[in-house]
Chain A
Amino acid sequence: MAKEPLFFKDTGEMGDVFAAAKQIIEQTRLSRDERARVSAITGERLNQLTGKFVEYDTINAENTEYKRRIHELRVKLLKGELTGDDAKKALDALASERDALQKKYGDLVGLLDTQMKNIDSELESLDKRKLTLTAERDQYHSALHMEVKWIAEGELKEISALTETLQNKRKSLVEEKSLIFIKKDELSESVSLVDDVIGKKSKRYIAADDARAHELNFIARFDTKMHAYPVKIFSPHEGMTYTVTEWKHHYHYDSGTAADAATKGATDAGIPNMPLNAGSVYTIDEKDLKYLGKSRKKVVVEAFSYCNTVDYTDLGFDTRMVTMSALMSVLAPIIQRAEEGDYFHALGIASPTGWDDPAITWVKGEDSGSSYMSRNVAVCLVDSASGEVYYNPNDLRILSYIDYFRPEFDLERVEKMKKILRDEFANAEYLEFEKIYEKTKEDRFIIERAFYALEREKVGRVKFAEGVGLVFLR
């Protein structure tokens, strides 16, 4: 019996093999040419789109110079070297400069918008090209078209790299735009820096020594609380709470420029007496796998003090509350880093001169929860002189961190509450727990501990009354 052919079964004809070969060669050549063409065009466009704005640096330099002159004016006014009228005249002279800067920033925003639009359309055309190439790559399964497939694959890789570059550039443009808005706000507020001094609107005077003391106090208390193990750290992204018994990643920092100024203004004892905008950071890092892999940040808890260090250096004191635009310029890079690293960052920022009303309203979320600025960052503001803490009570992410940022220890809070209760008790027959809570807004456990502490001191006794709750009576 004849052996059955394995390959030469003659199930069909090859047809015009030469024509097919020529077609494949031509197609490969066209793909190669097209790729070279697209690559050249895209390269050129990319250079245009990712190029740096020269105007941005120039305008920023002008803005710095303008700010320096305003600051000088303010310092002279505060030192009594300039009368109110003279300051007003000088301020009026600077008005046109301010308006011009604001206009330039406005134009720059327009430029950024155009560039973002161009990037968007470039991303769109890259997407289309990607679709064509994917179809080309997947169209052929024969080894004969390997070259066409390789060319398509090569360009697809290039496209994904280009797309990433463009997306990163777009992201940085969005950030630049938000920074420009902050700078515009700062410009609008710049007049009030001098106006407030002329109208004597400043509510608080904080000397450099006091500011430094508040700063040290805030950071030291925060550090103490963060070392009262076990420390519970809530991670909203993971929906879990870490129990920390030892900090592996912790550091302190302060701003270099302020530190230099502080050293220059050091007292005779050689101890810096200027606030340093010091901060303390605790991080929880986890590896990708249980024991192997790259370590990634999961939660960062940071407390830092924020002062107008330039004023402390030049005047030795400060009267300005931290404004909304200053707060935003501090938060912008923090948000950017947290979003890039995709970790949760809980922030407590303390200011010895306090916070202005817009900043407080914003952080408390009174304008329909507007303090929710990022999925990755939650913030609370601390007035380190008065001890007040401002945060959004509806933002569950920050609630568990408030006690760490609060400048008082629990015992101090209980003592303070005991004093309030004693004063109230002097004029009343009994004190209702709920009414005290309504009045003071202090944590319930603090009021409860104060009630029982007073009972131990034989000031009165605690009783549970049906329908009323806990009561303190004689």
Chain B
Amino acid sequence: MMSSSSVIEFLGKLIPGYDYRAKKSRLNTDRSVREKLARELKKAAVNLKEVSDLAYRDGKREIVDHIKDVLKAIDLFVVEIEDAPFGQSPLFKVDKVNDDDIDHMIQFDRDLVEQLEVITKTSELIYDYVLKGETSDIIIQVRKLKKELDVMKNTFSDRLDYMMKR
């Protein structure tokens, strides 16, 4: 289990200016986190798009369909992230937020970033295995990726709920 300071350090390295303590930086931090999530998801989408193109070239329609599902889910998720109610949370309106709320936000962000890292890396790995020709279980892997994406979506929804209910 990472300590709170090391979580902040970890996030600080990935997202410059990460800080929920001051009111003026809270909005920017939230925006930066969401931009980071969207950007990384697009990277994963690019990898999967490449795999889909190769599958199409080899006539593997079934694989193309499964990847299409994931790509659609990513697209929707990216829109959800980018269009999330921005700045309407009471958390962004008060000057002082209690430490518990900050800890919760940090925990959500950390979970999201970690899940995102796994999704991006898995998409890279799948692409790598396709290039090596080791593809017999690709559909299972693509479905697993979709499941991980669903988990991430849920975490993001929980984060939004938490922010709005404060």
Contact = CB atoms under 8 A, between A and B. Distances in A.
Contact of A17 (B57, B60, B129, B136): B129
B125 A21 contact: yes
A6 B58 CA distance: 6
B118 A21 contact: yes
A450 B55 CA distance: 100
Interface string A9-22: 11111110110111
A359 B87 CA distance: 86
A13 B136 contact: yes
Contacts of A6: 54, 57-58
Interface residues of A, number: 23
A25 to B, nearest CB: 5
Contacts of A25: 114, 117-118, 121
Nearest to A9: B133
A7 interface: yes
Contacts of B137: 13-15
A24 B118 CA distance: 9
Contact of A144 (B117, B128, B136): B128
B118 A7 contact: no
A143 B128 contact: yes
A240 to B, nearest CB: 57
B63 A14 contact: no
A8 interface: yes
Interface in B116-161: 117-118, 121-122, 124-126, 128-138, 141, 144, 148
A334 B153 CA distance: 72
B125 A17 contact: yes
Given A7-B54, A9-B133, A18 B60 contact: no
A142 interface: yes
A51 interface: no
Contacts of B57: 6-7
Contact of A14 (B55, B60, B118, B126): B126
Contacts of A17: 122, 125-126, 129, 141, 144
Contacts of B117: 25
Interface of B: 54-55, 57-60, 63, 114, 117-118, 121-122, 124-126, 128-138, 141, 144, 148
10 contacts: A7-B130, A8-B55, A8-B58, A10-B133, A10-B134, A11-B133, A12-B134, A17-B126, A18-B118, A25-B117
